Amino acid sequence: MNLKVIDTGNFKLDGGAMFGVVPKVIWQNLNPADENNLCNWAMRCLLVEDGNRLILIDTGIGGKQSDKFYSYYYLNGDQSLEKSLHKAGVDFGDITDVLLTHLHFDHCGGAVKWNTKRDAYELAFPNAIYWSHPEHWNHALYPNVREKPSFLEENILPISQSGQLKFIPDDLKLSDNISMLLANGHTEKMMCPKIKIGDKTLVYMADMIPSAAHIPVNYVMGYDIRPLKVMEEKAAFLKEAVDNNYLLFFEHDNAIECATLGYTDRGIKAIQKGKLSDFI
Ligand SMILES: [Zn+2]
């Protein structure tokens, strides 16, 4: 089992949307906003070598949208999916499995690209099985009003048309070492992979706890479809995480890749924060 961080670059989202009802005077010190109230967020994917499989968890925003679309998100940073895979010594054709936690564009955009003639879409990972949750897939095909701008047809239809789509089995296991925690607060049936590495367990938090700043139970994003459910799921997860000494991996935290948690007199807090390589 070997893990590598795949940094696909940063984007900006409104701080208010990211922190919901938490006032700016509280979040702005740790998460400074620019003159447009935008905060900078990572799109951090994870490459897992598990036996003879090379599994990529999420794919970032991708490169096929229009300039106008990208102008809303202020892409920045030196890294991209291509560069980070290259740095890891991996080609797109080497990936055997792409696990999409959910189908919001900042998680699955890199899974589909233009063909060389730019007249049709094709899968970015030609030899991979693409994994989704069946109920999430149906949810994304017929989106509610809130999530409609996040589920882009061009990220979804080419995957089903390719014949490379598979749904995670009922036991929620991708392999002996990787199983899915399901969350229904952010969207319907989001999958947060739990990865066993020796005696440690790493949990890829996706949008359940997108950054270290979102650890407190009441820090709920404006994007979440069921805010009370997020709080319930997060409270249960945080307890499980402390009791089992999980390592949390943050997809969107601009600086902190991972954290461990502990009980304090002010509730469950991050105890150690750092890079993945500090922990594994
Ligand atoms: Zn999302």
Query: Residue 136 contacts by C-beta under 8 Å, 6 or more apart in sequence?
Result: 102, 103, 187, 188, 189, 190, 191
- 207 CA from centroid of ligand 1 (Å): 5
Question: What pLDDT was estimated at residue 12?
Answer: 98
Closest listed residue to residue 201, CA positions, set 170, 252, 241: 241
Distance from residue 107's CA to the centre of ligand 1 (Å): 7
- 140 C-beta neighbours (distance < 10 Å), count: 25
Pick from 29, 11, 14, 42: nearest CA to 250: 42
Q: What is the pLDDT of residues 143-184, one digit of tens each?
A: 999 999 999 999 999 999 999 999 999 999 999 999 999 999
Look-up: residue for tokens 């005696």? 199
Ligand 1 geometric centre to CA of 26 (Å):
23
The rounded Å distance from CA 132 to ligand 1 centre is: 14
pLDDT value of position 30: 87
Query: Ligand 1 centre and the CA of 117: distance in Å?
Result: 31
What is the C-alpha to C-alpha distance for residues 116 and 62, in angstroms, rounded to an integer?
15
Ligand 1 midpoint to CA 224 (Å): 8
Gap from CA of 49 to ligand 1 centroid (Å): 25
State residue 248's pLDDT score: 98
Q: Model pTM?
A: 0.98
How many A from CA of 180 to the centre of ligand 1? 16
- Which structural domains are found in the chain, ordered by start? 2-279 (3.60.15.10)
The CA 201 to ligand 1 mean position distance, Å, reads 23
Contact 100, 111 (CB under 8 A): yes
> Measured in angstroms, how far is the CA atom of residue 106 from the centroid of ligand 1?
7
d(CA 186, ligand 1 centre) in Å:
7
Render pLDDT for 34-47 as a digit per residue (tens, 0 to 9). Answer: 999 999 999 999 99
User: What's the CA gap between 91 and 80, in Å, rounded?
Assistant: 13
**Gap from CA of 79 to ligand 1 centroid (Å):** 21
Report, as an integer, the average pLDDT of 96-110.
Answer: 98
64 has pLDDT over 90: yes
> What crossing angle do the helices spanning 134-141 and 153-162 adopt, rounded to 10°?
130
How far is the centre of ligand 1, averaged over its atoms, from the C-alpha of 265 (Å)?
Answer: 31
Residues at Cβ < 5 Å from ligand 1 ion = 104, 207
Distance in Å, CA 270 to ligand 1 centroid: 22
Mean pLDDT, range 236-262, rounded to an integer: 98
